[in-house]
Structure 1
Amino acid sequence: MVSSAGPLAGIRVVDLTAVVMGPYCTQIMADMGAEVIKVEPPEGDITRYVAPGPSPGMNGVFVNVNRGKRSIVLDLRSDHGRAALRALIETADVFVHSMRAKAIAKLGFDYESVAAINPRIVYTNCYGYSRRGPDADRPAYDDTIQAECGLPAVQKQLTGDATYVATIMADKVTGLTALYAIMMALFHRERSGEGQELEVSMFETMASFMLVEHANGAMFDPPLGPAVYPRTVAPNRRPYETKDGHIAALIYNDKHWRAFTDAVRPSWNSDEYATLQMRAKQIDVVYGLVAQTMRERTTAEWLALFAELEIPATPINTLDSLFDSPQLNAAGMFETIDTPHGKVRFPGVPTWFSRTPGHVRGYAPELGADTADILAELGLSSDAETTVVDGNSPDSVNNRSVGATEAAAELA
């Protein structure tokens, strides 16, 4: 029997994160059935305002990583706001924040304070840097973390220019890391009944991520080589130019290499290139030779040959073309839902569960849309001072807030 509830049904998440790292983590939890309550300051998550949208504070980035959540506006510098959050924590399974350590402690919601309210809670700190190091209080964003973990340096080895990769990789990788950490802690709690504190930091996460393959010879004592995986920084490692366009192909293992050379360049079946180990020692030379050969045929001709030889190859997609991908659509990647602004086609859940599948559970909430309902569920009054203004900026937003002073949201 297939359940529409999702594997995290019954889990309540109190989400004090902003921008992308934390919200991406909790968005996946919402897709998988968790009730995610997004706690926002009166001005809202700043990501509401990074791009235009169909209504104030509802642009594509924010809507995508906050879909299926509820929004409550609490001014955590007010007694009423803090009391409401404490009541919410009593009902929660998971508490996630992306404030710096000093800021969350000043508000009275560090781990010790939260665990005193709810000892079973899984409390997750999403930081820029681990508290155990000298950089604990430094601010961080995706660009600075990309630089610090070495991404622009390896890009320079590949292209000649020190560039960021064209996606907010540090935010998303750290969000996924926070997700798996929370799942492990919930599994431990299921077996033991114990809650605990987690720390997930961008720099440490991305350093680990980059060193998976790039640690290479530098791992050994004494080092056997520099910290770099040569294949990925070979200057000729790029999509191949064909007669009429470009193609991505990886003629990598010995089976693929023999099939390719037998069909195209039998002379390359020599001792010089015969094995993967031999090719790896001169990988940029090999890429260059293949690049010259690729210019001899059209993209369609190469795709047909590679399909016949079972060599991984593909044309180069644009991001827009992903929405029309036969593979993604057949796999049910996209989910269209009705919203107050018309139909929205979401990139949905990339994983498949035979019994408890996830799915997009609704549009992202307007700022404070659920404040009154959540307070009522907690048995609290919403009669505190309320701000309702019109506009499309952090200082002028349609919202319903508990307390009117600025919240202490310091992003990691």
Structure 2
Amino acid sequence: MSGPLDGVRVVDLTTVVVGPICTRTLADQGADVIKVEAPGGDILRYLAAGSRSPAMSGKFINFNRNKRSIGLDIKRPEGAAALRALLAQADVFVSNVRPAGLERAGLDFATLAALNPRLIHCSIQAFGRGGRYFNRPAYDPVIQSLSGVAGTFERATGEPRFVPMVMTDHIAGLVAAQCIGFALYRRERTGVGEAVEVPMFENMASFVASEHLGAATFDPPLGQAGDERLLSPYYRPLPTKDGYITAHPNDNRQAFAFFAAIGRPELKDDPRFNTPKARSEHAAAFFEIRAAALREKTTAEWLEILAEADVPAAPYSRLEDLLDDPHLNEVGFWEMDDHPTEGRIRRARIANRFGGGMREETLPAPRLGRDTRAILRELGHDEESIATMIETGAAFEDAS
């Protein structure tokens, strides 16, 4: 058996996180992803702390499994020609190069559609076409700042800050993978490829607005934008006698069970708390009661009580606690492998399952240019031609 994208070839001209998370998603489902790297390679090879050898950071390893790497200098005619030959055979082209840069390199949709009419051309960009920000550079913190993500922290805590992970990259990258799947489905019916543009800013603005537009959905607004439950200072793991816990009753059954568990069953008849709407309108009072009650027992005691009451609850986990989480270990989430150059590594397995089959083999994240010779052979180059390209710098390979 093989993954649902078996037989789909993806040419990956992306770097850092937003593009590689998109193409890793496609690779995990069986696509043949060819990562095209310029001299020096993807900056993520060096950007993150933690590596056993140069150009192979732990972060790069996590975002680039199941891919092949070809080293090409596409500023040289022979390198550009090799990339065009790849694209002529490809199903999907993914880049997070700014649109103006793609046009200068002859990699825009119109040019490539003439070369390969079936090509899905996916451009992940900071800002959408038609607006004043179009073609500006941006990374995740810029998008978090502009899209209101940092602003939600100011509402909640009095100080703007960023989510301490590149969340906008992850979201935009996963949206891009989803859009590519949609485009491939349409191509199966029409036989024709298309351009797909995935702007990070608009996607994150939509993400934030869906959650927080609230009363401002209506014209005129019925109140201030923002879900006050999520902006509450109590929307976080809460202290117990000996640590922290998250307890989150939502519907009436859970809320009333929670009231009984904390010894306040009468609250189910309190008009402030007897319906989801009432609890939402009086979220501050509800959350204060919850926080005060949870301080009275240990985390273990509350977990037992709330499990018996079937109230959603969980202990608070630090980053290192994930490595020993019993559920993750029981489902085989953590896999150990021997990387051919980086030694023993831990990786998170593909979380989602397909009954029709999954990718059978896992390719280790590639050294820079690991597959250059093999891919050039697939394009019809003989050994003499490959040697010439490498000698002139049009192509390069891992020297380790």
Equivalent residue runs for 1:62-101 within 5 Å:
62-101=60-99
**Once the 2 structures are TM-superposed, how far is the Cα of residue 345 of structure 1 from its aligned partner?**
1.6
How far, CA to CA, are the matches of 2:334 and 2:51 in structure 1? 20
Confirm or deny: 8 A CA contact 1:382 1:402 kept in the other structure.
no
Match of 2:347 in 1: 346
Equivalent residue runs for 1:5-404 within 5 Å:
5-50=2-47, 51-263=49-261, 264-269=263-268, 270-340=270-340, 341-358=342-359, 361-380=362-381, 381-384=385-388, 386=390, 401-402=393-394
Could you list the per-position Cα deviations for residues 99-122 of structure 1 after superposition, in whole angstroms to 9, with x for gaps in the alignment? 111111111111111111110010
**Once the 2 structures are TM-superposed, how far is the Cα of residue 403 of structure 1 from its aligned partner?**
5.5
Confirm or deny: 8 A CA contact 2:372 2:395 kept in the other structure.
no
**Once the 2 structures are TM-superposed, how far is the Cα of residue 323 of structure 1 from its aligned partner?**
2.0
How far, CA to CA, are the matches of 1:185 and 1:331 in structure 2? 32
Q: Secondary structure at the residue paired with 2:230?
A: helix
Q: Partner amino acid for 1:18?
A: T
**Once the 2 structures are TM-superposed, how far is the Cα of residue 75 of structure 1 from its aligned partner?**
0.9
**Once the 2 structures are TM-superposed, how far is the Cα of residue 386 of structure 1 from its aligned partner?**
3.5
Larger RCO, structures 1/2 (Cα 8 Å, 6+ apart): 1
Q: Secondary structure at the residue paired with 2:370?
A: coil
How far, CA to CA, are the matches of 2:149 and 2:272 in structure 1? 32
**Once the 2 structures are TM-superposed, how far is the Cα of residue 358 of structure 1 from its aligned partner?**
4.1
How far, CA to CA, are the matches of 1:338 and 1:95 in structure 2? 30
Could you list the per-position Cα deviations for residues 184-203 of structure 1 after superposition, in whole angstroms to 9, with x for gaps in the alignment? 00000111111000000110
Confirm or deny: 8 A CA contact 1:242 1:295 kept in the other structure.
yes
Tell me the TM-score normalized by structure 2.
0.94
Could you list the per-position Cα deviations for residues 265-318 of structure 1 after superposition, in whole angstroms to 9, with x for gaps in the alignment? 123232232222111111012101111111111111110000000001011112
Q: Secondary structure at the residue paired with 1:144?
A: helix
> Aligned pair in 2 of structure 1 residues 271, 217: CA closer, same or farther (>3 Å)?
closer
Q: Secondary structure at the residue paired with 1:232?
A: coil
Q: Partner amino acid for 2:76?
A: S
Q: Percent identity?
A: 43
Could you list the per-position Cα deviations for residues 227-279 of structure 1 after superposition, in whole angstroms to 9, with x for gaps in the alignment? 21111001222211111111001022211111122232123232232222111
**Once the 2 structures are TM-superposed, how far is the Cα of residue 357 of structure 1 from its aligned partner?**
2.2
Q: Secondary structure at the residue paired with 2:337?
A: strand
Question: For structure 1, which runs of at least 5 residues remain unmatched after alignment?
Answer: 388-399, 405-412
**Once the 2 structures are TM-superposed, how far is the Cα of residue 350 of structure 1 from its aligned partner?**
1.0
How far, CA to CA, are the matches of 2:58 and 2:50 in structure 1? 8
Q: Secondary structure at the residue paired with 2:196?
A: strand
Of 48-57 and 359-368, deviating more is 359-368
**Once the 2 structures are TM-superposed, how far is the Cα of residue 334 of structure 1 from its aligned partner?**
2.3
How far, CA to CA, are the matches of 1:330 and 1:289 in structure 2? 35
Q: Partner amino acid for 2:190?
A: S
> Aligned pair in 2 of structure 1 residues 360, 62: CA closer, same or farther (>3 Å)?
farther
> Aligned pair in 2 of structure 1 residues 403, 303: CA closer, same or farther (>3 Å)?
closer
Q: Secondary structure at the residue paired with 1:361?
A: coil
Q: Secondary structure at the residue paired with 2:197?
A: strand
How far, CA to CA, are the matches of 2:86 and 2:31 in structure 1? 15
How far, CA to CA, are the matches of 1:7 and 1:154 in structure 2? 38
Confirm or deny: 8 A CA contact 2:187 2:193 kept in the other structure.
yes
How far, CA to CA, are the matches of 2:195 and 2:303 in structure 1? 51
Q: Secondary structure at the residue paired with 1:332?
A: coil
The aligned length equals 389
Confirm or deny: 8 A CA contact 1:74 1:402 kept in the other structure.
yes
How far, CA to CA, are the matches of 1:352 and 1:81 in structure 2? 38
RMSD: 1.6
Tell me the TM-score normalized by structure 1.
0.91
How far, CA to CA, are the matches of 2:92 and 2:395 in structure 1? 25
How far, CA to CA, are the matches of 1:355 and 1:326 in structure 2? 28
Confirm or deny: 8 A CA contact 1:73 1:401 kept in the other structure.
no
Q: Partner amino acid for 2:315?
A: P
Question: For structure 2, which runs of at least 5 residues remain unmatched after alignment?
Answer: none
Confirm or deny: 8 A CA contact 1:335 1:360 kept in the other structure.
no
Q: Secondary structure at the residue paired with 1:230?
A: coil
Confirm or deny: 8 A CA contact 2:12 2:33 kept in the other structure.
yes
> Aligned pair in 2 of structure 1 residues 315, 360: CA closer, same or farther (>3 Å)?
farther
**Once the 2 structures are TM-superposed, how far is the Cα of residue 367 of structure 1 from its aligned partner?**
0.6
Q: Partner amino acid for 1:386?
A: I
**Once the 2 structures are TM-superposed, how far is the Cα of residue 360 of structure 1 from its aligned partner?**
6.6
How far, CA to CA, are the matches of 1:317 and 1:164 in structure 2? 20
Confirm or deny: 8 A CA contact 2:4 2:29 kept in the other structure.
yes
Of 315-324 and 165-174, deviating more is 315-324
**Once the 2 structures are TM-superposed, how far is the Cα of residue 374 of structure 1 from its aligned partner?**
0.8
**Once the 2 structures are TM-superposed, how far is the Cα of residue 221 of structure 1 from its aligned partner?**
1.5
> Aligned pair in 2 of structure 1 residues 151, 167: CA closer, same or farther (>3 Å)?
same
Q: Partner amino acid for 2:335?
A: E
